[in-house]
């Protein structure tokens, strides 16, 4: 009898020991608009403690690909932390259709701003349909873990942290401070208020030094924007004691947004983009050193990735004889409606004669009310749209998304289109632009964007460092959707509810 009891207790203790074999803190870092090649383009200028440390101490997957379109911010952040794609997790864009109306991905009119008088905090993760790594960690740890999201952008803080997050904080560009939402809390913790007061004094000094530039531009187009984001993350670790509570694993999601903001305005090869990454490298070195001192080297797990990459600028491409041009969707949609009106004998100057509502993320949104009012066949209209774009100089392929599975396009494009299609939230007809072509305003400038299937938009970094991570690399292809199940496998917790990826931590052996 004593032997049986002893064996039973041993099994309990053994199981308990296995359950506790986790890092003290998991830190998921996303660098917005970080192409994979940025790991190496500036390598000689990086310090030993930032990106170089990740590569020299950690494990890098050299061919991590986004497996859906459009490759844009809200989707990327969601896919990294859910292991899923828009057709399942529901975040079909930065903006998408919800009940037939265009909606910002994290808009939530049922909540209020916490920390300022603006409407910038009326946000929550409710439009996301799947759980995240943090959600599954909370559940696995009987809701004793803490999960906190920090970013300059609202969506980059809210969506990675998940539904059960203790807090998400983002920067209010009007009030110039970090805020949150009543989804998480009724008032800011005292430490956040104190931090806001500190950076408020710094921002005033910035404004005094350059009175000819908007204050927000002095923040977001310079390394300072990422600097205050990094320091906010450190303050969260310190004041919430993340990773410093006995037998507990916590999680911090941290997204650096100013690299994306700068890239959109200045492009992939501008000195300001260069300065952002040299500055970010130093900030990461500072942050990793802080983790070493606060949590303990080897006791935390860091993974770094990106929500998407970016195309080289059109003007740069053209200067160097690379085929490239813009696709101004507003003007194209006007031309499309004129062509459709002529085909079906309608008046495009009248709202009832415009059969295409608009083009979003290279998808045509049908005006079904107009199609029904004119007693037209939706299939006939769709075919007319496809015929129109087959003649467009910027377009390589065009097909109705309901027929994507049989579309005569390369399999990789077909798969990405299907993964990115949420029937009640996406557009109806997919446009695939030629390589080097991307959406622009009326005038093409030196800046850039992203969203297409091509490697420049979809080849992203995936690097792990710290707890139980050996040094090494793998050249085998993995996907953005493999990140979440890999982290969950390392933590011995269930993968998120909509996860379609596979753990790839066995390649680290």
Q: List, by residue number, the catalytic residues.
A: 73
Rounded to whole angstroms, the Cα distance separating 259 from 266 reads 10
Half-sphere exposure of 219 (CA within 13 A, CB side): 24
Instruction: Compute CA distances 418 → 412, 422, 430, whole Å.
Output: 10, 8, 10
Rounded to whole angstroms, the Cα distance separating 167 from 239 reads 13
Give yes or no for a contact between 333 and 341, defined as CB atoms under 8 angstroms apart. no
Strand partners, 433: 395
Rounded to whole angstroms, the Cα distance separating 394 from 208 reads 46
Task: Output the CA angle 331-335-337, nearest 5 degrees.
Answer: 115
Among 355, 347, 358, which Cα is nearest to 376's? 355
The two tokens of residue 37 are 């090649």
The two tokens of residue 11 are 């099994």
Give yes or no for a contact between 28 and 258, defined as CB atoms under 8 angstroms apart. no
Helix/strand/coil for 486: helix
Residue with tokens 């390394």: 223
Pair type for strands 429-433 and 101-104 = unpaired
Rounded to whole angstroms, the Cα distance separating 475 from 491 reads 24
Q: Kindly state the helix (H) or strand (E) to which residue 174 belongs, with its residue range.
A: none
Among 299, 172, 282, 186, which Cα is nearest to 231's? 282
Distance of CA 374 to the CA centre of its chain: 40
Rounded to whole angstroms, the Cα distance separating 481 from 350 reads 44
Please give the full DSSP string across 339-384, using - where no structure is assigned: HHHHHHT--TTSGGG--EEEEETTEEEE-HHHHHHTT--HHHHHHH
Strand partners, 464: 59, 303
Dihedral, CA atoms, 135, 139, 143, 147, nearest 10 degrees? -20
ω into 70 cis (within 30 of 0): yes
Dihedral, CA atoms, 386, 388, 393, 398, nearest 10 degrees? -10
At 178, give phi and psi (nearest 5°).
Answer: -85, 135
The two tokens of residue 423 are 């029937």
Give yes or no for a contact between 89 and 82, defined as CB atoms under 8 angstroms apart. yes
Among 180, 183, 77, which Cα is nearest to 130's? 77
């Amino acid at each position: 009898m004593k032997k049986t009891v002893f064996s039973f207790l041993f099994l309990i203790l053994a199981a308990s020991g296995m359950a506790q074999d986790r890092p003290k803190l998991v830190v998921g870092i996303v660098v917005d608009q970080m192409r994979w090649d940025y790991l190496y383009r500036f390598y000689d200028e990086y310090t030993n403690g930032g990106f170089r440390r990740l590569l020299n101490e950690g494990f890098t997957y050299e061919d991590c690909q986004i497996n859906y379109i459009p490759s844009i911010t809200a989707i990327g952040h969601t896919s990294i932390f859910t292991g899923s794609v828009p057709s399942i997790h529901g975040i079909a864009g930065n903006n998408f259709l919800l009940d037939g109306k265009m909606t910002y991905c994290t808009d939530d009119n049922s909540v209020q701003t916490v920390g300022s008088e603006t409407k910038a905090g009326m946000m929550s993760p409710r439009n996301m349909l799947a759980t995240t790594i943090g959600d599954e960690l909370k559940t696995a740890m009987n809701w004793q873990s803490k999960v906190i999201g920090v970013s300059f952008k609202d969506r980059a803080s809210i969506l990675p942290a998940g539904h059960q997050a203790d807090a998400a904080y983002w920067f209010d560009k009007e009030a110039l401070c970090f805020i949150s939402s009543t989804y998480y809390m009724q008032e800011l913790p005292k430490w956040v208020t104190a931090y806001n007061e500190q950076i408020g004094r710094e921002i005033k000094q910035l404004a005094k030094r350059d009175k000819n530039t908007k204050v927000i531009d002095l923040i977001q187009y310079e390394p300072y924007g990422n600097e205050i984001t990094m320091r906010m993350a450190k303050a969260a670790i310190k004041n919430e004691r993340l990773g410093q509570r006995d037998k507990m694993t916590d999680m911090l999601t941290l997204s650096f947004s100013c690299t994306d903001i700068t890239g959109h305005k200045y492009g992939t090869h501008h000195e300001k983009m260069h300065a952002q990454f040299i500055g970010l490298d130093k900030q990461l070195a500072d942050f990793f050193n802080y983790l070493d001192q606060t949590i303990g080297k080897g006791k935390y797990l860091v993974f770094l990735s990106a929500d998407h990459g970016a195309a080289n600028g059109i003007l740069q491409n053209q200067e160097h004889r690379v085929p490239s041009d813009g696709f101004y969707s507003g003007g194209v949609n006007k031309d499309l409606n004129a062509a459709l009106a002529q085909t079906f004998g309608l008046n495009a100057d009248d709202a009832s004669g415009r059969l295409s509502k608009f083009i979003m993320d290279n998808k045509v949104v049908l005006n079904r009310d107009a199609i029904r009012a004119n007693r037209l066949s939706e299939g006939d209209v769709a075919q007319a749209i496809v015929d129109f774009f087959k003649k467009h100089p910027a377009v390589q392929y065009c097909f109705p998304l309901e027929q994507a599975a049989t579309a005569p396009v390369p399999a990789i494009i077909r798969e990405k289109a299907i993964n990115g299609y949420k029937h009640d939230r996406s557009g109806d007809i997919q446009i695939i632009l030629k390589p080097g072509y991307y959406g622009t305003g009326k005038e093409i400038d030196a800046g850039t964007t992203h969203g297409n299937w091509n490697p420049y938009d979809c080849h992203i970094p995936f690097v792990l460092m710290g707890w139980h991570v050996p040094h090494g690399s793998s050249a085998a292809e993995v996907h953005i959707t493999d990140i979440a199940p890999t982290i969950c496998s390392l933590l011995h917790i269930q993968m998120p509810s909509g996860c379609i990826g596979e753990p790839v931590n066995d390649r680290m052996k």
